[in-house]
Chain A
Amino acid sequence: MNFLKAACFAAVSALIAVTPVRVVLAQGVDEQMLLHPPLDSWPGYHGDYSGRRHSPLNQITPQNVKNLSLAWAFQTEQLAQIKSSPLLVKGILYFTVPDNIWAVDARSGHQIWHYTYPPNKGLHIGHRGVGMYKGYLFFLSPDAHLVSLNAKDGTVRWEVTVADATKGYWTTMSPLIVGNHVLVGVSGDFDNLSGFIRSIDPETGATQWQWNSTAPPGTPNQSTGGMTWMTGTYDPELNLVYWGTGNPTPVLNGSTRMGDALYTCSIVALNPDSGKLVWAFQPSPHDTHDWDAVETPVLVDGDFHGRRKKMLMQTSRNGYFFVLDRANGKNLLTASYGPVNWALGVDEQGRPIPNPAKEPAPDGRLVAPDEGGLTNYRSPSFDTRNGLFIVDAHPSYSIYFAKPADGTYGWAGADYGVWGKGVIEAIDYQTGKIRWSHELGPESGAGVLTTDSGLTFTGDGHGNFLALDSSDGKTLWHAGSGSRIQSSPITYELDGRQYLLTSSGGVLFAWALPQS
């Protein structure tokens, strides 16, 4: 890239933007930034509200990506693996592992501040990052508290309890900021608890509304569960927030919760100002395999078989790819994207029909995919250039057991993975057919990012960061990272230079083309 040209462009952009932006950005993130993230920012978990993780940046191209080299690395010096997506606001990256937030200079990778949450007994399985509103960060703790901090120095503004950790709740997700709402979700399927989405006032920490995915525990013949542990997406035109809910409880034994178990394993559309449910679609009715439908609900506007549609797409953990009309939740397409053997077919609403013979049983049932699912929390990407939904898939088989002695509380059974592998799959969203696939080895890899220059960034099951050609999946660049990759890459432009940001183990890596 011509540096002078880039510098001039940056300077002109700065001049154009200087008056309106300086006033607002002095405080950090504002509504306009979340609606239209500038190229030098990544202000929310998914970057923008769509969940597409498709960047317009095109300095790194299929032709020059082979020259990509390390700009800097940041070592957390911790064993906890980075599973978060960093935010980038005003040249500063904010990212997390459980109990920890770092603010790091995005130009150099040096630490600005480090916040540590006090020792607590919450579940420390992972952390997906912070949310930001004005100059404030919002961080969920393992013991299900929401902490608001000042982004400039990491000092705590306030802390509120989101859920009772002693009952079995914990929190890991990156809050979604919509208007003046901090939207948070919870985890906790080892106990028969109700999942919920709560809207919290960013200034005071007060609850604005709460939407419960299931009835209160103890309601006869009703399912509990429906945890809300992944960040949703938002359509400002329809003013709807889209969120996935998790599995019902008891998890593997469905005998006490006959029927569909609404709203577990569902994609729900809520009004962010009132918390009212507008529509719901259920990828896994009466789930008995722990297949949360929390995977990113990706929002795409475009052609669907000749008609322009506002669509929502999800590669669900249960092995099916869904395309919905996101104005009303009506199904447009349901197609499996790997080995799936638990459904008898698809019903008239587009939902897979669970085969009772594949419910967990005392002598075991061979089920595809495994409990981790055909994909999981690592982000997919929608490549608008090629019309491809690109996902880190995990073809797999497992055996599921449940017997009366396992009871009807919490897990209520046992399951064992038998075999699996990792594959990046590029799905044609109009047909559900796999256009290309790229083998990753015996394990799942990383999340996916695509760019308008025609690149797909991800990682394999051995810890290699990969750049693939988005048109055919061929490898164009790689770098061994030395650990497993548990996160999704992001990209941004600073000082006219495009950076790719990846992580593996406890290390953050920034990549860029060499400067001439």
Chain B
Amino acid sequence: MSFLGSNLHWSVLLAGPLLAGLAVSAAQTTAPAPANTIRSQAYPPELVQSGSALFRQDCSFCHGRDAGGGESGPDLTRSKVVTTDVAGDRIGAVVRSGRPDKGMPRFAYSDQQIASLMAFLHTQQSDALTKKGGRKGVDVSDLQTGNVEAGKQYFDGAGGCATCHSPTGDLAEIASRYQGLELEKQMLYPKHAKAKVTVTLVSGQTITGTLAYLDEFTVGLIDPTAVYRSWRTGDVQYKVDAPVNAHVELFAKYTDADIHNLMAYLQTLRQSPRSGSVP
């Protein structure tokens, strides 16, 4: 499917609703509108409404009816895909392709349906971001119950973190790259960490690369020349080197206090305030 084609439609399709919405906003400037409704007024209510109905049908089970997170799906009101979406470009891509690796199916939505979904999600997000409370979600301030010193001790000692990680090496300024829940999830299990695999052929030749695929029948890697190669597992010997498994072994050992203390410590690993990039 061509997303370029879809994007072209976007600009045409969305100019109308956006302009119409702006006109509505302008006409209502005399009314004391709360700040959090500015963005939602950018979309015609009927568009948001049809997006809401569509969301309820197909998305709400995993993402929650208000898009604030449900069974297994993330809170979309805090989603980067939604935040950085322009006129449905990113939302449309995710919806139409799905995320097979995360269990999200794809949906064959029309451009009009994507437009309504986008209007609904942007409205939910701007509403959520300006709400004072009464909503679910995890704030950075929720994750400040730990003790820095105890976290550092756990990092250097019982947790074994220092075996692989260094606060001045790979984790330098980690808290400037990730904050809050995102940092905690990375800390507990960095999902995108790559494993290495070494495959030994019958001839004795060995090939080491980044593990790209592994089930009980096929092993695939990206070799040093960036080429994908695969073998039947029965035809070769292979050895996977996945340091990330150390994170899995920790799950059964952590106390919740250990996790909160580690979070406190990791949150000290940030750029100095002078550099100005601390949020």
On whether the beta carbons of A366 and B259 are closer than 8 Å, the reply is: yes
Count A-B contacts at CB 8 Å.
118
- CB–CB A364/B259 < 8 A: yes
Which residues of chain B are within 8 angstroms of A125 by Cβ–Cβ distance? 61-62
Contact digits for B89-132, partner A, Cβ 8 Å, 1 yes 0 no: 00000000000100101111000000000000000000000000
Q: Indicate whether B184 reaches chain A with its CB closer than 8 angstroms.
A: yes
Q: How far does the Cβ of A126 sit from chain B's closest Cβ, in whole Å? A: 8
With contact pairs A79-B106, A123-B61, A366-B188 given, residues A401 and B251 touching in the complex (Cβ less than 8 Å): no
B273 within 8 A of A: no
Are B105 and A81 interface neighbours, CB within 8 A? Answer: yes
Check A371–B72 contact: CB distance below 8 A. Answer: yes
Q: Judging by beta carbons under 8 Å apart, are A411 and B184 in contact? A: no
Of the candidates A121, A413, A417, A441, which one forms a contact with B136 in the assembled complex, judged by CB atoms under 8 Å apart? A413
Q: Are A123 and B60 in contact (CB under 8 A)?
A: yes
A121, A365, A368, A411, most chain B CB atoms within 10 A:
A411
Task: Determine whether the beta carbon of A411 is less than 8 Å from that of B64.
Answer: yes
Which residues of A have CB within 8 Å of B107? 79
Q: Are B56 and A123 in contact (CB under 8 A)?
A: yes
Q: Does A40 contact B (CB under 8 A)?
A: no
Is A462 in contact with chain B by the CB < 8 A criterion? yes
Checking A363, A371, A443 against B103 with a beta-carbon cut-off of 8 angstroms, the contacting residue is: A443
Are the C-beta atoms of A397 and B142 separated by less than 8 Å? no
* Cα of A304 to Cα of B252 in the assembled complex, Å: 32
CA distance A76 to B214 in the complex (A): 29
Most buried by A among B57, B58, B75, B143: B57
The answer to whether the Cβ of A407 comes within 8 Å of any Cβ in the partner chain is yes
Q: B170 — which chain A residues lie within 8 A by C-beta? A: none
In the complex, B65 has a CB within 8 A of chain A? yes
Please tell me if B45 contacts chain A, counting CB pairs below 8 Å. no
Q: 1/0 contact trace for A458-472 toward B, CB 8 Å?
A: 001010100000000
Given contacts A123-B57, A464-B217, A475-B216, contact A419 B248 (CB under 8 A): yes
- Chain A residue numbers with a CB within 8 Å of B69 are 411, 414
Give the one of A365, A372, A397, A443 with max B CB within 10 A: A397
Closest to A396 in B: B251
**Distance between Cα atoms of A14 and B216 in the complex (Å):** 43
CB-CB under 8 A from A407, the residues of chain B are 134, 136
Contact B65 A190 (CB under 8 A): yes
* A145 interface contact, C-beta 8 A: no
For the complex, what is the distance from the CA of A403 to the CA of B254, rounded to whole Å? 22
Q: Which residues of A contact B106 (CB under 8 A)?
A: 79
Residue A323 interfacial (CB < 8 Å): no
CB contact between B142 and one of A290, A362, A366 (< 8 Å): that residue: A362
Q: Which of B26-62 contact A (CB under 8 A)?
A: 53, 56-58, 60-62
Is B70 among interface residues, defined by CB-CB distance under 8 A? yes
The answer to whether B252 and A339 have CB atoms under 8 Å apart is: yes
Q: In the complex, which of the residues A364, A397, A402 has the most CB atoms of chain B within 10 Å of its own CB atom?
A: A364
User: Closest CB-CB distance, B213 to chain A, in whole Å?
Assistant: 8
From A399, A441, A460, A484, give the contact of B188 (CB < 8 A).
A399
- Please tell me if the beta carbons of B138 and A364 are within 8 angstroms of each other in the complex: yes
Chain A residue numbers with a CB within 8 Å of B259 are 364, 366
Chain B residues within 8 Å of A410, by CB: 65
Chain A residue, CB-CB nearest to B146: A363
- Name which residue of chain A comes closest to B248, CB basis: A419
* B142 x A403 contact (CB < 8 A): yes
Instruction: Decide yes or no whether A134 CB sits under 8 A from chain B.
Output: no
Distance in Å: Cβ of B216 to nearest Cβ of chain A: 6
Chain B residues whose CB sits within 8 angstroms of the CB of A339 once the complex forms: 251-252
Q: A366-B188, A411-B69 are in contact. Are A401 and B105 (CB under 8 A)?
A: no
Chain B interface, number of residues (Cβ within 8 angstroms):
49
How far apart sit A361 and B215, CA to CA, in the bound complex (Å)?
A: 37
Give the Cβ gap from B252 to chain A, nearest Cβ, in Å: 6
Asked if B56 and A121 make an inter-chain contact with CB atoms under 8 angstroms apart, the answer reads yes
Q: Which residues of chain B are near A122, meaning CB under 8 Å?
A: 57
Q: Count residues on chain A whose CB falls below 8 Å from chain B CBs.
A: 50
Question: Does B57 contact A142, Cβ atoms closer than 8 Å?
Answer: yes
Q: Which residues from A are CB-within-8-Å of B196?
A: none
Contacts of B254 in A (CB 8 A): 366
Judge if B270 is at the interface, Cβ distance under 8 Å. no
- Nearest CB to that of A444 among chain B residues? B103
Cα–Cα distance between A123 and B71 once the two chains are bound (Å): 13
CB distance from A134 to the nearest CB of B (A): 33
Residue of A125, A357, A368 with most chain B CB atoms under a 10 A cut-off? A125
CB pair B256 A478 closer than 8 Å: no
Judged by a CB distance under 8 angstroms, whether A341 is at the interface is yes
Binary per-residue interface labels of chain A (332-369) against chain B in the complex, 1 for a CB within 8 Å, 0 otherwise:
00000001010000000000000001000111111010
Cβ-neighbour of B189 out of A362, A364, A405, A419 (below 8 A)? A419
Q: Is the CB of B260 closer than 8 A to any CB of chain A?
A: yes
Question: A405, B71: Cβ atoms under 8 Å?
Answer: no
Cβ of A159 within 8 Å of any chain B Cβ, yes or no, is no
Verify B215–A460 contact, CB threshold 8 A: yes
B185 at the interface (CB under 8 A from A): yes
Interfacial chain B residues near A121, Cβ < 8 Å: 53, 56-57
A374 and B217 CA atoms in complex are apart in Å by 25
Q: In the complex, are the beta carbons of A364 and B184 less than 8 A apart?
A: yes
Instruction: Known A414-B69, A484-B100; judge A366-B256 contact (CB<8 A).
Output: yes
B74 at the interface (CB under 8 A from A): yes
Neighbouring A residues of B57 by C-beta, 8 Å: 121-124, 142
B133 at the interface (CB under 8 A from A): yes
Tell yes or no: B160 within 8 A of A by CB: no
Q: Which of B62, B70, B133, B217 has the most CB of A within 10 A?
A: B70
A124-B58, A362-B142 given; A419·B215 CB < 8 A:
no
Question: A413-B136, A414-B136, A418-B185 in contact; A460/B216 too (CB < 8 A)?
Answer: yes
Nearest A residue (CB) for B215: A462
Q: Quote the shortest CB–CB distance from A186 to chain B (angstroms).
A: 14
Contact flags (1/0) for A188-200 with B, using CB distance below 8 Å?
Answer: 0010000000000
Known: A364-B143, A411-B68, A417-B72. 16 other contacts (CB 8 A): A79-B106, A123-B60, A125-B61, A190-B65, A339-B252, A363-B145, A363-B256, A365-B256, A371-B72, A372-B72, A405-B134, A405-B135, A406-B135, A418-B188, A443-B103, A484-B100
* Interface, chain B (partner A; CB < 8 A): 53, 56-58, 60-62, 64-65, 68-72, 74-75, 100, 103, 105-108, 133-138, 142-145, 181, 184-185, 188-189, 214-217, 247-248, 251-252, 254, 256, 259-260
27 A-B pairs whose Cβ atoms sit less than 8 Å apart in the complex: A79-B107, A79-B108, A123-B57, A168-B65, A190-B64, A190-B70, A339-B251, A361-B256, A364-B138, A364-B143, A364-B184, A364-B259, A366-B254, A371-B71, A371-B72, A372-B71, A401-B138, A402-B136, A405-B133, A411-B64, A411-B68, A411-B136, A418-B185, A418-B251, A419-B251, A462-B215, A464-B216
